[in-house]
Chain A
Amino acid sequence: MIGGLAALCVGFSIYDRNRTDSDANAERARRFAPVHLVMAGLIVLGIVAALATSLFGFWPAYGVLFGEALAILAFGVSWTLKGAELWSGAMRGVG
């Protein structure tokens, strides 16, 4: 589940970096594009931590919890940032 979400965050980053519109909204999105990439990296790190715990007994008490929590948090931050475009100027008056 979370592995697919990392790919989506990478997609957010690529899309925001290459947006074709040129308003302040797009500028903000381009600024946050690297953040989505970092979050994708944290998701992968979380998966690796959970796997390492399961396979090698690394940090047996909380390794899986740490990995899962890190990955879900990073996913949530990326999607919240992406959705926060809702309150930017370009979306005002729509709908």
Chain B
Amino acid sequence: MSATTVPAADRLPSMVTSPTAGAAVEDAIRELRPNLYKSFLYTRFLVGVVGVLLPIMLIGSDLVVFGNAPRGSLSAYYYHPSFLHVWFVGSLWAIGVGLMVYMGTRKSSTAGLLSTFAGVAALVVALFPPVTSEWMGVGSRRSTSSPPLW
């Protein structure tokens, strides 16, 4: 019997323990728990919007609102003496927490592990900014002593 003819309720229990069955699990969740699926979609959409706005706001505001040349990296906006600092840190927290929680019941899937890892990495970037004298506005070249965004 093919996977498409087995009722989703019968397929789900064995799927949630499989680390590579993300797509099939998502199909079953869409069918069985549309509310849960809708929350996946909300989280994805909001995390995506925050991601799109992050570089646009940082670079665009630096150019247009403050009349400055853009800084050397997005991480450098941690030290921007304006709301851009808050935007940078807040966006990373939003993206990080969104990535960590959105998989919900499927933490053991490959995608769940990847998104959790990426979420933790985003929080690390937000919590431990690069320590560089140039980015802090005191003049010398940047160092690579802390994790880059990528």
A40 within 8 A of B: no
Among residues of A, the one whose C-beta sits closest to the C-beta of B40 is: A83
> Quick check: is B150 within 8 A (CB to CB) of the other chain?
yes
CA A5 to CA B31, docked complex, whole Å: 26
Other-chain residue from A19, A76, A85 in contact with B51 (beta carbon distance below 8 A)? A76
Interface size range on B against A: 35 or more
Residues 40 to 93 of chain A near chain B (Cβ within 8 Å):
46-47, 50-51, 54, 61-62, 64-65, 67-69, 71-73, 75-86, 91
Residue B46 at the chain A interface, CB threshold 8 Å: yes
With A18-B23, A65-B72, A95-B38 in contact, do A8 and B111 touch (Cβ < 8 Å)?
yes
A7-45 CB contact bits vs B (8 Å, 1 = yes)? Answer: 110010011001111000000000000000000000000
Closest to B52 in A: A76
Instruction: Say yes or no: A76-B48 contact (C-beta < 8 A), given A2-B149, A68-B150.
Output: yes
Give bound CA distance, A91 to B36, whole Å: 11
| A14 close to B23 (CB less than 8 A) | yes
Closest to B96 in A: A1
**Secondary structure at chain A's binding surface: helix, strand, loop or mixed?**
helix
Name which residue of chain A comes closest to B35, CB basis. A95
Interface of B is mostly: helix
Cβ-closest chain B residue relative to A94: B34
Distance in angstroms between the alpha carbons of A21 and B30 in the assembled complex? 9
Q: Is B138 an interface residue (CB 8 A)?
A: no
The contact size tier of chain A is: 35 or more
Distance in Å: Cβ of B68 to nearest Cβ of chain A: 13
Residues of A whose CB lies within 8 Å of any CB of B are: 1-5, 7-8, 11, 14-15, 18-21, 46-47, 50-51, 54, 61-62, 64-65, 67-69, 71-73, 75-86, 91, 94-95
Decide if A86 touches B45 in the complex (CB within 8 Å). yes
Could you jot down 5 A-B contacts, CB within 8 Å? A1-B118, A1-B125, A8-B118, A11-B22, A83-B43
Q: Which residues of A contact B53 (CB under 8 A)?
A: 76
CA distance A77 to B35 in the complex (A): 24
Bound Cα distance A91, B38 (Å)? 7
Q: Does B49 contact A (CB under 8 A)?
A: yes
In the bound complex, residues from chain A placing their C-beta under 8 Å from that of B149 are: 1-2, 68, 72
Which residues of chain B are within 8 angstroms of A65 by Cβ–Cβ distance?
59, 70-74, 76
